[in-house]
Amino acid sequence: MGLALVMAALLVLPAAAQERGITPTEIILGVSAPLSGPAAPWGATARGVEAYLAYINEQGGIHGRTLRFEIRDDGYQPARAVANVRELVERVGVFGIVGMIGSANAAAVRDYMFRNEVVWMTPAVESDPWIGNPNITYLFVTYPNYYQEAKILARYAVEELGLSRIAVFYQNDQYGSNGLRGVRDALAEMGMAPVAEVSYELTDADLSVHALRIAQAQADAVVMYATPNHGAMMAAALAQQNPRPQILSSFTLADPIMARLAGPAWDGVIVPSYFPYPGTDEKVDRVLQILVERNPELANMAFNALAGVTFVEPMLEGLRRAGPNLTKESFVAAMESIQNWDGELLRGVTFGPGRRQGINSIFLARMVNGVPEPLTDWIEYPVEF
């Protein structure tokens, strides 16, 4: 009996060893992230994953395997993201990529990821590339939809705040254009249109002309899709206007670091979230404590660091459910078994054979002295992929 068990165990090991990124003792994951450049505050998502996986390893890992997490800096540049991902897949040999900040970056690596059947957990981008895409077998997303979020923000500005002159300030790429499209469509449904559509480039260092265009349009609200640095610059410029327009920002600018970047200009900004804010939920506070204990710098970037955990915590659940004989296929089957699952941060996560969009609700909050004060209950939007 004992000999039979030993032989069975030996037969399992070669199959596990042949799966990229899986060894008898380790699961290798990685990410290309903006640790520098105009989106550097978003790099805290990668550091959040790193700290949380360190905690998981301290608990013994998953089924006897620890999780190694390799981070590469791309400076928010697509060419660097491509080089990083190729290195992670071909040289490091990762099982999966966790995250990926930047719509242009994700677009640049998307086909490569699909061809190489790399598990991809929550690229932090718009949903358009995934809707109707037949190649997303190894993709799982727990990230809001920019287009649907923008529709919710525009409707809230009009229907709840009573504002009627809505402008859009947006980054000139897929990220910003999806926000713009959502605002346009929501306003059109109400018989309205934006009074100004103002784009910027990542290389822009002065936004005074952009702010002037919004002032000339007499906007009473501005929906914003920007990097943290550009969002702070525009908020400061808009704060000089009289009357000052109401800013409604994508959740990508929900981190308290915005209050330090923009100062008092960030007070009153309305931002969504897709998980409870620190200070409002005991489980969230406990996770933040775990992160800060392992990387004290994350205390200053709490929302972004926690967002990183939302990228990876459904993956950890999938790895647990897949069992010790881990392969890409057993992992996919395990992820597809997740139904209405509550993690430490995320709520109601659902995947399935025909579903890769794990969440479909957000709520809105108002920033006051860097602290979010919830304004709404959860607001649902359609499941599209």
Whole-number pLDDT of residue 257: 87
Rounded average pLDDT over 160-175: 97
Return the exposure string of 17-54: e unless at least 16 CB atoms fall within 10 Å of the residue's CB, then b: eebbbbbeebbbbbbbbbbebbbbbbbbbbbbbbbbbb
Residue 2 has pLDDT above 60, yes or no: no
pLDDT tens digits along 219-268: 999 999 999 999 999 999 999 999 999 999 999 999 888 999 999 999 99
Is 124:359 a contact under the CB 8 Å cutoff?
no
Dig out the tokens for 99 from the structure. Answer: 């995250």
Q: Which of 171, 176, 149, 169 is nearest to 219 (CA)?
A: 169
Q: Is 90 helix (H, G, I), strand (E, B) or coil?
A: helix
**Which residues does residue 307 pair with via DSSP β-bridges, in sequence order?**
none
Whole-number pLDDT of residue 6: 41
Q: What DSSP line would sit under 112-173, residue for residue? A: HHHHTT-EEE--BS-STTTTT-TT-TTEEB-S--HHHHHHHHHHIIIIIT----EEEEEESS
Residues 6 or more apart whose Cβ sits within 8 Å of residue 295: 47, 50, 51, 305
Cβ-based neighbour number of residue 121 at 10 Å:
27
pLDDT band at 30 (very low <50, low <70, confident <90, very high): very high
**Which residues does residue 364 pair with via DSSP β-bridges, in sequence order?**
272
pLDDT tens digits along 96-153: 999 999 989 999 999 999 999 999 999 999 999 999 999 999 999 999 999 999 999 9
Whole-number pLDDT of residue 371: 85
pLDDT tens digits along 55-102: 999 999 999 999 999 999 999 999 999 999 999 999 999 999 999 999
Whole-number pLDDT of residue 1: 46
pLDDT tens digits along 335-344: 999 999 999 9
| Strand spans (E) along 226-370 | 246-249, 270-273, 361-368
